[in-house]
Amino acid sequence: MQSVPVPPSAPTRRDLLAGLGLAAAAPLLLGATPRPARGAQPSRPYAPGSRTVLLRRASLVLTMDPALGSGPLGALEHADVLMQDGAIAAVGTALATPSGARVVDASGKLVMPGFVDTHNHLWQAVIRGGCTDRDLFGWFQGCTDPRRGRLTPAAVHSFVRLAALDAVQSGVTTLVDWVDIFSYDLVESYVRALAETGVRFTYAMFPPAPGSPLVAKVKRELVDPVPLASFQVATHAARAVESHNRAHWETAQDLGVMLNSHVLERPEQRADDPFGVLADIGALGPRLLVNHAIHLTDAEIAAAADHDVRMAHCPLSNMRLASGIMRLSELGRRGVKVGLGLDGGTNDSSDFHALMKAAIGLQRARTSEAGVFPQVHDVLRMATLGGAEVLGLADRVGSLTPGKRADVVVVDPAALNFAPRFDWIGQIVFNGRPENVDAVFVDGRALKLGGRLVGIDTDRVVREAEAAAARLRAAG
């Protein structure tokens, strides 16, 4: 949620930033002098893929690959998952244990690919639970704007680390962060915090100015060196800033990455004609990711389907901000690739189970039809392989297909909120909670085991985020 109306004509630089909701960042940007790169390598570098792990005798494995098991989710009962060199090496029953393998008893547990969060703004953890009586514009004015301009590198690090770890502990293994215009030192801190968590991530950077060399510099010096990181160019499509949108699209093409735009989160944004702008600049295609896309017309849905435009659906945020309900059932009928997104501060938590449940529930509430798209298997696919397809990462993650990277989640159904077994697949969506996520592997590395984040002092992470938030309050 980064979407506010833009000025009607000939915006000045400062007006433009204000129109994009970036007024608070203007002084930072207009006077920003990038510092020399220090690199964003993790302070605790790890060697992805140096481990062999066998998840043994899982009660149910959802591979998301119909070729590997039964049904649309490729389900296997009493199966093993072998991870080697950071990749899925094999899935099947009674796999041999390679010498030196770490064996994890998964009996009684459910195994599936990690969640792919296609839209987030992690720094907004600082305003969780804030401005709860406001819509998007009010939330922006009351909660986001006053804090964005006062962020320091240390504060960014604290908030991003907190939210990224919350996402990981909830089963997210890949996330996309659409990041506001920030000065280089904030960007560096942001990327470093992400890299240190070990999560697979995409940094979507809003260029500080059309054609700014800072974009390529951030990609080259901060993002590309992180093994699990990728890059996108962020924008906010609107007629008043069409020339900027065009320049951002050209930058994305030059860098060979996706353009990532907020689109029609509020009905008032119809006046900005964001989808028309994206069409006019030639961006409609599989290299375009649009977020929210709630208030699309039939013609726009048809154009998105025809051009294979990718979408991020953020149902919890959309409900919270009174933004509306995405026409997900129509998009599903047209075969549009849609992933799920937590969407930063307005989600308030990183609960992917709640996200899946809301994605189903909103369409049923809208149509009064229990059979409407998405069903349980649809939403589980959207949360994993579907999200990977949206991001162009389906050749690497999203299913437990041997050869893909080992981004794996283990869910323990032996919990008061989950048991007893009726239909575990449905229960993942309707009963599951982050605390049922027993283990999380990214690129074969265990980030959560036995219900606890590995090597993370969570008390300290919380303490430092509290202190950073208190300092921001004091500065205001």
By the criterion CB under 5 A, which residues form the site for Zn ion?
1-2, 343
Instruction: For Zn ion, give the closer residue by CB, 2 or 261.
Output: 2
Residue listed under structure tokens 């002084």: 27
Q: How many CB atoms lie within 10 A of CB 348?
A: 19
- What is the token pair recorded at 339? 């992933």
Q: Which of 32, 70, 112, 18 is nearest to 407 (CA)?
A: 112
Minimum distance, C-beta of residue 132 to Zn ion, in the bound complex (Å):
17
Minimum distance, C-beta of residue 218 to Zn ion, in the bound complex (Å):
19
Instruction: For Zn ion, give the closer residue by CB, 115 or 139.
Output: 139
Instruction: For Zn ion, give the closer residue by CB, 72 or 267.
Output: 267
Pairing relationship of beta strands 288-292 and 437-442 according to DSSP bridges = unpaired
User: Cα dihedral sign for 284, 285, 289, 293?
Assistant: positive
Instruction: For Zn ion, give the closer residue by CB, 262 or 337.
Output: 262
Minimum distance, C-beta of residue 124 to Zn ion, in the bound complex (Å):
9
Partners of 338 in the β-ladder: 311
Instruction: For Zn ion, give the closer residue by CB, 56 or 313.
Output: 313
Distances in Å between the alpha carbon of 444 and those of 71, 192, 402? 26, 21, 13
Minimum distance, C-beta of residue 339 to Zn ion, in the bound complex (Å):
13
φ/ψ of 400, rounded to 5, equals -95, 30
Minimum distance, C-beta of residue 279 to Zn ion, in the bound complex (Å):
21
Instruction: For Zn ion, give the closer residue by CB, 2 or 173.
Output: 2
Q: Report the residue closest to Zn ion, judged by CB.
A: 1
Instruction: For Zn ion, give the closer residue by CB, 1 or 385.
Output: 1
DSSP 242-296: HHHHHHHHHHHHHHT-EEEEEE-SSGGGGGG-HHHHHHHTT--STTEEEEE--S-
Minimum distance, C-beta of residue 163 to Zn ion, in the bound complex (Å):
13
Instruction: For Zn ion, give the closer residue by CB, 2 or 350.
Output: 2
Residue listed under structure tokens 């009174």: 322
CA 229 to chain CA centroid, nearest Å = 13
Minimum distance, C-beta of residue 234 to Zn ion, in the bound complex (Å):
10
DSSP 132-175: TT--HHHHIIIIIHHHHTT--HHHHHHHHHHHHHHHHHTTEEEE
- Residues ≥6 apart with Cβ < 8 Å to 151: 123, 182, 186, 472
CA 109 to chain CA centroid, nearest Å = 25
Instruction: For Zn ion, give the closer residue by CB, 294 or 409.
Output: 294
Minimum distance, C-beta of residue 3 to Zn ion, in the bound complex (Å):
7
Compute the CA torsion angle 297, 301, 304, 308 (nearest 10 deg). Answer: 170
Minimum distance, C-beta of residue 210 to Zn ion, in the bound complex (Å):
21
Instruction: For Zn ion, give the closer residue by CB, 1 or 328.
Output: 1
Minimum distance, C-beta of residue 318 to Zn ion, in the bound complex (Å):
10
Q: Under a CB-based contact definition with an 8 Å cutoff, are residues 402 and 412 in contact?
A: no
